[in-house]
Structure 1
Amino acid sequence: MSASTSSPRGRRPGSPDTRAAILDAARARFAEGGFRATTIRAVAADAGVDAALVHHYFGTKDDLFLASLALPVDPRALLVPAVTAGGPEGAAERLLTTFLGVWDDPELQPALLTMVRGLMDPAATRLVSEGFLPVVLGPVGQALGIDRPEHRMPIVASQVLGVILLRYLVRVEPLASMPAEQVVATYAPTIQRYLVDPLP
């Protein structure tokens, strides 16, 4: 059998087009079935490639999920070390400062807005509840060593996402034009209570 006919049928070789096909398949899978139900094997089958190629391009399922969101930065690399370095005390202030520092960057903001608009699609709601929260914010709570992070971090997320939606997407005043330092001073005390105070 010649080299031109020896490759398995239905499998694409590694190429930029293959990478794009994997990402398209991943976005569809994550949006339809959620993070937990999506497997690398299923994404690979949808993209017409071997599962090993998905791992080669993207690593773990967490990495594939973040790549499928098309974020301009890896939030794990920013949030976990920046927020957890000082322990629970002052963590909310560091969390908001980090988020706002990224969102106020004019080079990053367009891609972030595109991502948020995509997450607002009803078909993509599981990407937030089953993907973004456990993959991005979950590790922050665990690294801080707070009790019941699985309960606390979604409450924290409700505040952070609310700020993002109103400040950057809907642009509600005075929040839209408020200096970042004032936003942090306004919201950090409440978020800090969610992180460390006794839960109801």
Structure 2
Amino acid sequence: MTAPRRRSAPATRAAILDAARERFGTTGYDRVTMRQVAGDVGVDPAMVVRYFKTKEDLFTEAARFDLGLPDLDGVHPEDLAAVLMPRFFAVWEGDAGFLSLLRASASSDAAGAKMLELFAGQVYPALAAAAVDRPAERASLLGSQILGLAFARYVLKVPPLVAMSRDDLSEWVAPVFRHYLTGPPTVC
């Protein structure tokens, strides 16, 4: 008979966070229980409570991201999409936690608040630095474009968007990035 495998505390904590991100993203904040997350990892629910105290604390930790957006101060408007899109693709395609938060934000007030916090703390300052004026409006408009694109391509999986290469998609959105951050406001 083989002795059960021992996990290290950091590995167990990381496994719990990974399982929580998956659960919150697929099930939504309101329907996830700490017991389910524990079951996904194969640990006692008390272990989840030990590390995270409450479901809200678990969610807060699972929804913590550093998007690593570049400094856009001094980036020429023509180059905005070329600078930003590789970073967004890296987040969208390389961090299941972000997509889980994006999915959950559509149906959960708590997830929506975390997404807004992420936008206000990381996306807004980066985009506002490149805005020629009215940074709040310009950054918010471009942020809505970016979130909409991520939602349509990676959550809804709109076929033409999924089929586009990264380069093609970047070329299509480049004029939009430029307009939102540096173009004249258009009033109809």
- Correspondence 1:104 to 2:93: yes
* Structure 1 segments unaligned to the other structure (5+ residues): 1-14, 28-64
- Partners in 2 of 1:85 and 1:168 — Cα distance? 31
**Structure 1 residue 154 and structure 2 residue 143: aligned?**
no
Alignment of 1:72-83 (within 5 A): 74-75=66-67, 78-81=68-71, 83=72
Cα 1:121–1:142 change in 2 (3 A) is same
TM-score relative to the length of structure 1: 0.58
Separation of aligned partners in 2, 1:85 and 1:26: 38
Q: 1:16, 1:122 → 2: CA distance? A: 21
Percent identity among equivalent residues?
A: 24
Alignment partner, residue 198 of structure 1:
184
TM-score, structure 2 as length reference = 0.62
CA RMSD of aligned residues (A): 2.8
The change in CA–CA distance for 1:104 and 1:128 in structure 2 (over 3 A counts) is closer
Contact 1:79/1:140 (<8 A) preserved = yes
Q: Verify: 1:92 aligned to 2:81, yes or no.
A: yes
Question: Which secondary structure does the structure 2 equivalent of 1:79 belong to?
Answer: coil
- Give the count of matched residue pairs: 139
CA drift at 1:159: 1.0
Q: Is the 8 A contact 1:80 1:143 kept in 2?
A: no
User: Offset of 1:183 from its aligned partner?
Assistant: 0.6
Name the structure 2 match of 1:24.
56
